[in-house]
């Protein structure tokens, strides 16, 4: 059985009858109105020229009115309830925007790009596979900022990542602040309908903690208390450096791998090292396997709009009724 979104609009059905019965004065004064081509208009509508009121209206006109009222009430067909699978993850991404992320030591589609551009490309693909997850975003440099709250709207998170620029949060690196803020947001934005979610932080950085007020060790303790697992990714390729900053020789970028390993080990997560976009993509694929968890979501009943049927039928009836007198007139 169809259901109506606005069933109260069906109360308009007897309106023409009420107009005819309760407002006789309106009918008595109707004759005072002189319309040009009155005879032709009445004939076109299928009403006798001398009875151009509601009482003389043809049956098809009443049917059209009833169909319009049904369409206005917006009937919908409800399918059987299903239980779509939904991930149990609350995932917070913490992405480094410090000055070193502008280093051009990555390659994407065969051309050199800076680190942030490479991260954006791989993160966009990673978010495409997060259906069912609530994802939030923290961007950090000298300070940490919660840009996107936990949300199922992954397109918003993706757009915020794409709009980020190097240095937006300062040129230094506050890893501890970013981690502490991520823990805080996961705690504050808990979903009461999912009392035991799988809460995860993925922290990506290419530097050393040299700013902020919260030491990384203290932030890791906060994550442990909240039972939040932290995966850390040290990101950046090999860079060439020499005298006066000229590119010469080969050395590893300055990443505090020991500190990142300690954070992950303390919280039950894993540390990854990515030197190029392929390794970074492989890390995110590995995280898919590590964090795979699904459960049944809330029951959903798909709705199909039915109002086009009565609306279309009313239109067809009107066109047919208007066309019949014309054919008779030509004959």
Nearest C-alpha neighbor of 99 from the set 153, 188, 181, 173: 173
Report the b/e string of 143-160 with b at 16+ CB within 10 A. Answer: bbbbbbbbeeebeebbeb
Tens-place pLDDT, residues 289-323: 665 555 455 555 667 788 889 889 989 988 888 87
- 132 pLDDT exceeds 60? yes
Q: Furthest-apart CA pair in the chain: how many Å?
A: 104
Per-residue pLDDT at 331: 47
Rounded CA gap, 293 and 283, in Å?
A: 18
Consecutive H or E run containing 294: strand 294-296
Backbone angles phi, psi at 245, to 5 degrees: 80, 5
Q: Return the pLDDT at 111.
A: 82
Question: What's the CA gap between 185 and 137, in Å, rounded?
Answer: 10
Q: Render pLDDT for 276-296 as a digit per residue (tens, 0 to 9).
A: 777 777 877 777 766 555 545
Q: Which residue has the higher pLDDT, 259 or 298?
A: 259
> Which range among 130-139, 177-186, 290-299 shows the weakest confidence by mean pLDDT?
290-299
Look over the chain and give the mean of its residue pLDDT values, rounded to a whole number.
77
Domains and CATH numbers, the chain: 3-80+302-330 (no CATH), 85-296 (3.40.50.410)
Strand 106-108 to 198-205 pairing = unpaired
SS3 230: strand
Question: Over 80: is that where the pLDDT of 49 sits?
Answer: no
Q: Which segments within 129-283 are labelled E, that is strand?
A: 134-140, 144-151, 198-205, 229-235, 271-274
CA 2 – CA 306 distance, rounded (Å): 8
Instruction: Return d(Cα 275, Cα 211) in angstroms, integer.
Output: 24
Check if the beta carbon of residue 239 is closer than 8 Å to that of residue 245.
Answer: no
Asked whether 86 and 132 are in contact (CB, 8 A), the reply is yes
The pLDDT, as a whole number, for residue 330 is 47
The whole model's pTM is what?
0.59
């Amino acid at each position: 059985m169809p259901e109506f979104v606005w069933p109260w609009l069906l109360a308009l059905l007897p309106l023409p009858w009420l107009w005819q019965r309760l407002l006789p004065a309106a009918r008595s004064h109707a004759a005072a109105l002189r319309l040009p081509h009155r005879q032709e208009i009445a004939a076109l509508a299928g009403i006798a020229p001398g009875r151009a009121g509601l009482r003389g209206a043809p049956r098809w006109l009443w049917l059209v009115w009833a169909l319009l009222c049904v369409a206005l009430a917006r009937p919908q067909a409800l399918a059987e309830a299903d239980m779509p699978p939904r991930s149990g993850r609350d995932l917070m991404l913490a992405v480094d925007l410090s000055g070193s992320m502008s280093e051009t030591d990555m390659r994407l589609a065969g051309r050199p790009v800076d680190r942030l551009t490479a991260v954006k490309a791989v993160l966009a693909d990673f978010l495409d596979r997060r259906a069912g997850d609530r994802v939030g975003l923290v961007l950090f440099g000298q300070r940490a900022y919660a840009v996107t709250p936990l949300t199922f709207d992954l397109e918003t998170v993706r757009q915020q990542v794409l709009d980020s620029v190097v240095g937006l949060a300062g040129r230094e690196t506050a890893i501890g602040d970013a981690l502490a803020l991520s823990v805080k947001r996961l705690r504050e934005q808990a979903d009461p309908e999912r009392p035991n979610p799988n809460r995860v932080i993925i922290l990506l950085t290419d530097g050393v903690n040299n700013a902020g007020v919260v030491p990384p060790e203290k932030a890791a303790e906060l994550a442990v208390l909240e039972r939040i697992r932290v995966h850390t990714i040290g990101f950046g390729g090999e860079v060439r450096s020499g005298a006066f900053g000229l590119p010469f020789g080969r050395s590893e970028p300055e990443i505090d791998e020991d500190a990142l390993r300690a954070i992950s080990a303390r919280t039950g997560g894993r540390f990854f090292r990515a030197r190029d976009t392929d390794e970074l993509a492989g890390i995110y694929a590995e995280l898919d396997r590590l964090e795979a968890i699904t459960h049944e979501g809330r029951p959903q009943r798909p709705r199909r709009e039915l109002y086009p049927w009565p609306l279309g039928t009313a239109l067809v009836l009107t066109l047919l009724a208007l066309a019949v007198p014309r054919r008779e007139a030509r004959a």
